[in-house]
A and B are shown apart, each in its own frame.
Chain A
Amino acid sequence: QQQVKQSPQSLIVQKGGISIINCAYENTAFDYFPWYQQFPGKGPALLIAIRPDVSEKKEGRFTISFNKSAKQFSLHIMDSQPGDSATYFCAADTGTASKLTFGTGTRLQVTL
């Protein structure tokens, strides 16, 4: 049972455009929703995270939007740059220091 569904599987965006990646979850016990960025051959790196008590969190060009009633959250990358080309994973967790459930990943390519 896949508890976190991520879409799209791949995304091509022009430089300067907005990249949008969506995730939906099933387990209402999830209360922590991080996004990770992974470059080829590297480990995932935490990009930004949100908890259900807020509907939006912004850090630089990266914004998470969270819709608790719909059990959905999304990552928006504003002014996308070629250096943003990577695979992005959403994840969800319950409690403190628990285990992350990952989405299947979105491969983002930002073209010139």
Chain B
Amino acid sequence: NAGVMQNPRHLVRRRGQEARLRCSPVKGHSHVYWYRQLPEEGLKFMVYLQKENIIDESGMPKERFSAEFPKEGPSILRIQQVVRGDSAAYFCASSPLEGNEQFFGPGTRLTVL
């Protein structure tokens, strides 16, 4: 009974490259959330998706960041032209159709050189 899976666990990119982070929710969960955690800070909401739909992207930077949750396959958080300030831990969470409980993955730690 696998929980939320994220890969890669660690990702190193040079400034200007693209970062692609993947999240497979708990089986049967149709809601996916992405959060960003800067060092020594709490998690900040970025985006909330259901299958093939973006429900709330109010926490997502307007430029360079995008997210998708296709009908088949994992959710993807994409960061184009990364900058040093994008270095953080990115967590994905999922929840079932109803209910607030969110289950978090182990995170992807992005380092931008």
Contact = CB atoms under 8 A, between A and B. Distances in A.
A binds B: yes
Contacts of B59: 99
Contacts of A99: 33, 45, 48, 56, 59
Interface stretch (B14-22, B64-72, B77-85, B95-103): B95-103
A89 B31 CA distance: 22
A93 to B, nearest CB: 5
B91 A43 contact: yes
Interface string B85-113: 00000010101111111111111000000
B41 interface: yes
B106 A43 contact: yes
A23 B35 CA distance: 20
- Candidate in A89, A97, A102, A103 with the most chain B CB atoms within 10 angstroms: A97
Contact-size category for B: 20 to 34
B104 A43 contact: yes
Contacts, number: 59
Interface string A82-105: 000000010001001111111111
A93 B33 CA distance: 13
Nearest to A6: B42
A34 B101 CA distance: 8
A93 B100 contact: yes
Contacts of B42: 6, 89, 102-105
Nearest to B98: A96
A49 B100 CA distance: 10
B26 to A, nearest CB: 12
Interface of B: 4, 31, 33, 35, 41-45, 48, 56, 59, 91, 93, 95-107
Interface of A: 6, 32, 34, 36, 42-46, 49, 89, 93, 96-105
7 contacts: A32-B100, A45-B104, A89-B43, A97-B100, A99-B33, A100-B35, A100-B93
Given A42-B106, A42-B107, A104-B41, 10 more contacts: A34-B101, A43-B107, A49-B100, A89-B42, A97-B95, A99-B33, A99-B59, A100-B35, A100-B102, A103-B42
